[in-house]
A and B are shown apart, each in its own frame.
Chain A
Amino acid sequence: MSTLPGTLRSAKEVADRRAPAPHTSMFVRMLLRAAALRRGRAASALLAMIVAAAVATAMMNLYVDVQAKLRTEFRNYGANLVIVAKNGQALPPDAISTIELTLGPKTLAVPFAYAVARTNNGQSVVVVGTDFNRARQLNHWWNVSRWPASTGEALIGVRAAAVVSANREPFDLTFQGRTIRLTPGGMLQTGAGEDSRIYLDQSEFQSWTGVIPTTIEVAANGTAAEVAQSMGQLAQSLPTADVRPVRQIMEGEANVLNKTRATLYASATLVVLTSALCVLATLIGWVLDRRRDFAIMKALGASERLVNGFFAAEAAVLGVVGAILGFFIGIGVAAWIGRVNFHAPVVPRFSVFPYVLAGSVAVALISAIVPIGLLRRVQPAIILRGE
């Protein structure tokens, strides 16, 4: 009967050891020996626990982080806020720095100033002054052959190019009697209104036309509520401007994000439930498997409470160890998924640990209590006889 440790030792030895802490030491011994003697079964139960905890951790981490990751992807759609000068008023010259101060330095804000100029043959064309560096970061979809680098170079929309500079030679533009000579620096293709315009560096544009920016496009990060809050803050810090949401972008994003989140939620729930089921099946098997231990303990006179406590403690230890190991593996898995899919690691969230721990221990306890309830009705003698 290898399941009854300590019987071979001398009675005195046992009594000596028991003296300082009669119950605790035996209890701990039984727990440890139970794990050590049935290494295979204990390991498979622990493995199930670890897998479940890891999967649950990964799912919770992903669920929180993926939404932030997807929002970053959605910012590639460009600005979600537009700031326009109110009728008859001008945007303050330091508007960009005010916006960055209000929303944090990571916010992208791009100024645009518009004017209608004439070409040498009298054709009207819209000229826009902007900050190329910022526009480049905000509008990823702009297909630009080469960004202008030096003064006198302009970025020309493909349709405007056919009119002003079909052979890519320098051309003149006139605005209110003042003429500027520009060289085509690069071609711009977007499939939208930008194709019919000519883009100039902002300072060059301003010294030529004297027109200051009337529109600022802003890519504000965050959830819908955070963006709404940003709008409020901007409206306060820029009283002469109208802050408008770009509904096309915001609603599209909200739509896709909500659906993705709901799918993710459903899948995560399914996966976590399945792994909990896996743990339940394994642990119930493990406890049922040890009904002889259970019967011997009872036959030797252990109280019902002690036996229950023993099995519950065993399950709890399994749950805690599984949760801790599973948590770290799960964080690793989430980080790997983040790297593979989003090319940015998922930030570990230690705040989910209490949930994983509580869930693991709860599942472990349930899977210990169910079989004990079944066994309680059986006489120890019948189990020991081998039925």
Chain B
Amino acid sequence: MFPRLVYESFRRQSRRKLLAGIAITLGVAVATAMIAVATDIGDKINRELRSYGANLVVTPQEDTLDVEIGGINLKPPSDGAFLNEADLPKIRGTFWHHNIVGFSPMLPVPVKIGSGAKAEDGTLVGTYFNKKLTFGKEDFATGVRITHPWWKVEAKCSGTPSSGASGQAAELPSDCGWPSDDSQEVLIGERLAAKLSKHAGDAVEVNGRPLTISGILSTSNVEDDQIVAPLALAQQILGRPGAVRRVYVSALTKPQDALAVRDPKTMTPEVYDRWYCSPYVQSIAYQLQEVIPHSHAEQIRQVAQNEGTVLSRIKGLMLLITLAALLASALAVSAAMATAIFERRVEVGLMKALGAGNVTVAAIFFAEAFLLALIGGVAGFTAGSLLAHQIGRSIFSSQISIQPVLFPIILAIAVLVTFAGSAAAIRRAIKFDPVFALRGGA
């Protein structure tokens, strides 16, 4: 009898059930979407924060002092120590290699720009633009186009002007103007270009070597007064094959806490493991030092130190908003359930007049609410996942991953909220005198 009552109630009052079901579905959908976005927002914003550029720099351990003002390095060219370019792909072999978005080696070379007596002192920087490298079986590309997304190149070519500002490692804008990493082409900083009145496509003489300018580089930084060339070319000009002065590494990190700043040498093995296996900027720096011989890795504090604050602010904000969303959808579901049950006083009166006990009546209503919550919960979870997916695609142009563990939690919340919303209405419906209910004198 009990299942039949519930079944018939669903079959015959499908319109009323539909209304309550829609409310539950919408409420659960919003809750799912918000929880998914809130749990993933840290990761997403972390990735966006990489548009501030590298947060780690690797330098040779025994380096001499840099004497640099306004992008002009006054240090003798062969002075100091170098890193070995051959060691760089090993960065991919560190424990947190999935967190390393990209890296760019830099090799500044003091050069004479121009020909004959008019030659001027300048700096040529060798780097990777979007260099294809291999580590083990893994192929990957890295370079300034990933680590320095604010570098923009202007060049004459068909199609849209190139820009490096994307923040996404996967999709780079058009290659227009960027030299290829194995070419003899260079980028020239916009201020230097204006001074020498050079344009894209012209040739510039560097240390007596004519080089083609593939594009004009604009960074609003010291590079505007420099020439940027493929690393191999810079090494040729310097006469030091394989030499790299420093490496900028852009890594996704966890905001630092008390554990992060401890000295790994003083840790117990247990704490050390926990520290080593957390993507703190300090532990990633430590691991970079491990894989690159004779190197010293340091966080770039301007970038690294501020990430944590911005990240925690945004995460906190989303958490609070998610709470508000959960509250609002819980209220919506409760209100819908209360309305749906309140309308059925006459039925309650009839059941009680026929001899049903309070417990039976309540059980029927709760069973109905449970079924509604399950159906609404499943539909709402699906809709919410789609919504979260859509938000991820349109805002961050990447997937928002939904943890499977969220499904039972959401279902449980849906059932709980539906019960809570129904409870008061069910109690009132049961308390109602059957005589009044049947007479219709509400």
> B57 touching A191 by the CB < 8 A rule?
yes
Q: Is B186 an interface residue (CB 8 A)?
A: no
Minimum CB distance partner of B397 in chain A: A259
Q: Is B395 an interface residue (CB 8 A)?
A: yes
Q: Is A317 an interface residue (CB 8 A)?
A: no
Task: Classify chain B's interface size.
Answer: 35 or more
> A73 touching B67 by the CB < 8 A rule?
no
Instruction: Choose among B220, B342, B396 the residue that contacts A285 (Cβ–Cβ < 8 A).
Output: B342
Q: Is B27 an interface residue (CB 8 A)?
A: yes
Q: Is B317 an interface residue (CB 8 A)?
A: yes
Instruction: Choose among A271, A277, A284 the residue that contacts B321 (Cβ–Cβ < 8 A).
Output: A271
CB distance from A192 to the nearest CB of B (A): 6
Give a binary string over B119-160; 1 marks a CB under 8 Å from any A CB, 0 the rest: 000000000000000000000000000001110100000000
Of A6-14, A244-252, A304-312, A321-329, the one with at least 4 CB within 8 A of chain B: A244-252
Chain B, interface SS category: helix
CB distance from B381 to the nearest CB of A (A): 15
Minimum CB distance partner of A114 in chain B: B69
Q: What's the Cα separation between A172 and B247 when bound, in Å?
A: 33
> B320 touching A341 by the CB < 8 A rule?
yes
> B23 touching A281 by the CB < 8 A rule?
yes
Q: What's the Cα separation between A296 and B165 when bound, in Å?
A: 69
> B45 touching A259 by the CB < 8 A rule?
yes
Interface centre among B49, B63, B310, B391 (most CB of A within 10 A): B310
Instruction: Choose among B33, B49, B67, B325 the residue that contacts A116 (Cβ–Cβ < 8 A).
Output: B67
Minimum CB distance partner of A214 in chain B: B70
> B219 touching A247 by the CB < 8 A rule?
yes
User: B1: which A residues are within 8 A, CB to CB?
Assistant: none
Instruction: Choose among B150, B332, B335, B387 the residue that contacts A251 (Cβ–Cβ < 8 A).
Output: B150
User: A69: which B residues are within 8 A, CB to CB?
Assistant: 313
Q: What's the Cα separation between A340 and B19 when bound, in Å?
A: 38
CB distance from A202 to the nearest CB of B (A): 16
Q: Is B415 an interface residue (CB 8 A)?
A: no
Q: Is A386 an interface residue (CB 8 A)?
A: yes
Instruction: Choose among B26, B66, B328, B339 the residue that contacts A52 (Cβ–Cβ < 8 A).
Output: B328
Chain A, interface SS category: helix
Instruction: Choose among A160, A263, A292 the residue that contacts B41 (Cβ–Cβ < 8 A).
Output: A263
Q: What's the Cα separation between A207 and B75 when bound, in Å?
A: 26
User: B324: which A residues are within 8 A, CB to CB?
Assistant: 55, 58-59, 271, 333
CB distance from A142 to the nearest CB of B (A): 7
Q: What's the Cα separation between A255 and B167 when bound, in Å?
A: 8
User: A266: which B residues are within 8 A, CB to CB?
Assistant: 37, 391, 395
Q: What's the Cα separation between A314 and B63 when bound, in Å?
A: 80
CB distance from B391 to the nearest CB of A (A): 5
User: B165: which A residues are within 8 A, CB to CB?
Assistant: 251, 255
* Given A124-B67, A259-B48, A264:B306 Cβ within 8 A: no
> A247 touching B313 by the CB < 8 A rule?
no
> B74 touching A292 by the CB < 8 A rule?
no
Interface centre among A159, A163, A196, A251 (most CB of B within 10 A): A251
Minimum CB distance partner of B304 in chain A: A191
> B335 touching A281 by the CB < 8 A rule?
yes
Q: Is B300 an interface residue (CB 8 A)?
A: yes
Q: What's the Cα separation between A384 and B441 when bound, in Å?
A: 9
Q: Is B309 an interface residue (CB 8 A)?
A: yes
User: B404: which A residues are within 8 A, CB to CB?
Assistant: none
> B69 touching A263 by the CB < 8 A rule?
no
A residues contacting the other copy or chain, number (CB 8 A):
80
* Given A51-B328, A70-B310, A275-B328, A191:B301 Cβ within 8 A: yes
Q: Is A125 an interface residue (CB 8 A)?
A: yes
Of A27-35, A74-82, A99-107, A222-230, the one with at least 4 CB within 8 A of chain B: A74-82
CB distance from A215 to the nearest CB of B (A): 8
User: A114: which B residues are within 8 A, CB to CB?
Assistant: 69-70
Q: What's the Cα separation between A257 and B434 when bound, in Å?
A: 60
> B338 touching A285 by the CB < 8 A rule?
yes
> B70 touching A192 by the CB < 8 A rule?
no
> A126 touching B23 by the CB < 8 A rule?
no
Q: What's the Cα separation between A124 and B73 when bound, in Å?
A: 11
CB distance from B171 to the nearest CB of A (A): 15
Q: What's the Cα separation between A327 and B317 when bound, in Å?
A: 20
> A256 touching B310 by the CB < 8 A rule?
yes
Q: What's the Cα separation between A140 and B27 when bound, in Å?
A: 43
Q: Is B4 an interface residue (CB 8 A)?
A: no
* Given A247-B221, A274-B325, A260:B45 Cβ within 8 A: yes
Instruction: Provide 16 A-B residue pairs closer than 8 Å at the C-beta atoms, listed in order of the A residue.
Output: A55-B324, A69-B313, A114-B70, A141-B301, A163-B64, A192-B302, A245-B220, A252-B49, A252-B52, A256-B45, A256-B48, A259-B48, A263-B391, A275-B332, A337-B317, A386-B439
A contacts, CB < 8 Å to B: 44, 48, 51-52, 55, 58-59, 62, 66, 69-70, 73-74, 76-78, 82, 114, 116, 123-126, 139-143, 159-160, 163, 189-193, 195-196, 215, 244-249, 251-252, 255-256, 259-260, 262-264, 266-268, 270-271, 273-275, 277-278, 281-282, 284-285, 288-289, 292, 333, 337, 340-342, 384-387
5 tightest CB-CB pairs across the interface, nearest first?
A386-B440, A285-B339, A278-B332, A252-B52, A247-B220
Sample of 20 more A-B contacts, CB < 8 Å, known A126-B68, A191-B300: A58-B324, A70-B313, A114-B69, A126-B69, A141-B305, A159-B66, A247-B221, A248-B220, A248-B221, A251-B150, A260-B317, A263-B37, A266-B391, A267-B37, A270-B387, A274-B325, A274-B329, A281-B339, A285-B338, A289-B342
